[in-house]
Structure 1
């Protein structure tokens, strides 16, 4: 059973990792006590209810603020998780840290937050060069690696567990954070990869995102599993429609290109078919939809301008040996059909040529007889 610390980390491990951080939203320091937090909550509620302007560098959205205060004043395990990604600032003496420990942590937070924002907002290439985006993610990985490798980073969290002094928050929470934190830090990239809007640039950043404990390939597989399932189910439904309703050939191909191919392309970028059998199988299934559509057209109509393009699409997607052999067999059958189709016309032409040749010979014989008779008469 997943514990509260791991659950909290997975809930926030997305592109809003820092923007929705409870301390960022409320503009409170990570060392703030419950009493001060409660007073701040009461002040914010009063100002918002009065319709006045809330002077803050944090959020002014009532819903965001309510959720953030609930997180800070509710379960201390969720609060500790938010402290990991909040600004630590200068040590106040209670945590026992040296100033460089807090500085290293905050530099990692700033670098990571900036990298996420730049990845989202930078125009796609070639309008915008990729080096600034890549450099920002390299810097974020370096900063977080340095922070996580410092024993005082983890001692700070242990001291915070003691300071919060809540029965729900055990010392083991720090070990749980240590185990899950690499995945949480990778979470924004996984979230962006799954969204489909930043697939190419996200794939490149995932290849370079190296911090201790990273298991990028497995996490990408876990993240994209629902997308695999949706795409595979959609292809199965399209194949059934082709089988049960041959008249829907055009509609099936249109649906394939509208909803299935964009999802497949995202999977192909992040989990290429040369390395992942599931993507390769999906490629073959897409090829089969194109292939079956072309076969239906030929069987019911005959020669049609749609057949050639669909078969070429099928050939382009087919990756497995079995699917490629199926397409080769289909191509051979259609080649023979084309030859058979052309044979009657060729035979008719040959017959016409033979008939024309016979008439010419007959005419020449008659002409020769006439000339012979004339010669005899005149002589």
Structure 2
């Protein structure tokens, strides 16, 4: 299967329907040759005296398209690879596409487009639609598109359209090249919407409806990859600052950094947990828990726990809420000690699970190397031991 056409990247995000060439030009999806040229001439004449034109009747751009946007759309129209992607993501209506699809298939397609477009526009502030109604459109879009993408009929439709367009630039492509890119394109608006932290909790609920469909469950984490990585980087930077202050004995400053930087950064990461693997979520929770606990321990050891008692309690309560199961008992014991005016018994486990696994791997590889040396010779023993060190390095990184 060849890589999906570049048009998928061009349309990705909230501009998915706004930049669609049929939305911009107002042409039906079955427009060809002379009809396209005549329509372009009419629009050129119109935009010579007017600043914008409205585009398709269902275009999501309320203030119209400028001359340069219309010109670009017609240029992209000339590339059948781009055109086909835009066909798949715009209304088919009653266009005579010559395919074997039944009317119900075209109707379901248009309903999915309408629901998806309406949901995106509502999220971007176009139209006064309550959040509850938006959720309904998102759900309808997920169900409608999932049904289409799982249908063999859509693949047949694409194959027919590739034949009908009869352009050699399509010869290197198969229908699956277009099908493969559609799920990620349909999910791509979520990445931009997630930039607004206030909508992330609701967005996570919306996305849960999309992940109910296997066709969307696999690519969804990739959509949020950059957003998640930015959040993780901010959290790591805040943890690094707190750690440096803790190590230099500036315990009160370290505690302030935890309150003012680390916990807000972790709250942001938590809002994205729906799009993060369970193991990574647990590891980040463990890291923050250890930081909170160890700073609290440092303050107590420095004899500062009485003047900073309230902040300590708040920090340990946060640690107790965040702590994964492996740390919970230790953290709750330390929280109890802080609340009663005592000092925590000790730091939470500071050796990362990855390091523990690395130790096990190294021990096993050494043992395996000894056995191999006795049974298969020195070359095998050396190879196994070196392989163990390589794996340990991977775990450490």
**What TM-score does the superposition give when structure 1 sets the normalisation length?**
0.70
Which residue of the partner structure matches residue 84 of structure 1? 88
Deviation at 1:154, TM superposition (A): 3.4
Trace 1:195-210 onto structure 2 (pairs within 5 A).
195-209=196-210
Cα RMSD between the aligned structures?
Answer: 3.9
> Does 2:235 align with 1:225?
no
- In the aligned structure 2, how far is the partner of 1:143 from the partner of 1:330? 50
- In the aligned structure 1, how far is the partner of 2:48 from the partner of 2:303? 70
Structure 2 residue aligned with 1:110, among 109, 114, 125?
Answer: 114
- In the aligned structure 1, how far is the partner of 2:123 from the partner of 2:266? 24
Which residue of the partner structure matches residue 242 of structure 2? 242
Which residue of the partner structure matches residue 281 of structure 2? 279
8 Å contact 1:22–1:72 — kept in the other structure?
Answer: yes
- In the aligned structure 2, how far is the partner of 1:78 from the partner of 1:289? 51
Which residue of the partner structure matches residue 359 of structure 2? none
Trace 1:269-348 onto structure 2 (pairs within 5 A).
269-271=274-276, 276-298=278-300, 299=302, 301-303=304-306, 304=308, 305-322=310-327, 324-325=329-330, 328=333, 332=337
Trace 1:246-261 onto structure 2 (pairs within 5 A).
246=250, 248-249=253-254, 250-258=256-264, 260-261=265-266
> Does 2:176 align with 1:178?
no
Q: Residues 310 and 67 from structure 1, CA distance in 2 versus in 1: closer, same or farther, beyond 3 angstroms?
A: farther
Deviation at 1:27, TM superposition (A): 1.3
- In the aligned structure 2, how far is the partner of 1:289 from the partner of 1:242? 8
Trace 1:19-58 onto structure 2 (pairs within 5 A).
19-34=18-33, 36-38=35-37, 40-41=39-40, 43-45=42-44, 47-52=46-51, 54=53, 56=55, 57=57, 58=59
Q: Residues 15 and 93 from structure 1, CA distance in 2 versus in 1: closer, same or farther, beyond 3 angstroms?
A: closer
8 Å contact 1:4–1:77 — kept in the other structure?
Answer: no
**What TM-score does the superposition give when structure 2 sets the normalisation length?**
0.67
Q: Residues 182 and 237 from structure 1, CA distance in 2 versus in 1: closer, same or farther, beyond 3 angstroms?
A: closer
Q: Residues 334 and 93 from structure 1, CA distance in 2 versus in 1: closer, same or farther, beyond 3 angstroms?
A: closer
Unaligned runs of 5+ in 1: 340-379
User: Which sits farther off after the overlay, 87-96 or 303-312?
Assistant: 87-96
User: Which sits farther off after the overlay, 329-338 or 239-248?
Assistant: 329-338
8 Å contact 2:194–2:203 — kept in the other structure?
Answer: yes
- In the aligned structure 2, how far is the partner of 1:123 from the partner of 1:79? 29
Q: Residues 26 and 41 from structure 1, CA distance in 2 versus in 1: closer, same or farther, beyond 3 angstroms?
A: same
Q: Residues 295 and 146 from structure 1, CA distance in 2 versus in 1: closer, same or farther, beyond 3 angstroms?
A: closer
Which residue of the partner structure matches residue 374 of structure 1? none
Which residue of the partner structure matches residue 347 of structure 1? none
Q: Residues 226 and 139 from structure 1, CA distance in 2 versus in 1: closer, same or farther, beyond 3 angstroms?
A: closer
- In the aligned structure 1, how far is the partner of 2:97 from the partner of 2:324? 63
Q: Deviations over 1:96-136 (max 9, x none)?
A: 66544433322332233234445666999xx9573x44443
Higher helix share: 1
8 Å contact 2:90–2:113 — kept in the other structure?
Answer: yes
Deviation at 1:23, TM superposition (A): 0.9
Deviation at 1:287, TM superposition (A): 2.5
Unaligned runs of 5+ in 2: 345-397
Query: Which has the higher relative contact order, 1 or 2, with Cα contacts under 8 A spaced 6 or more apart?
Result: 1
8 Å contact 1:284–1:323 — kept in the other structure?
Answer: no
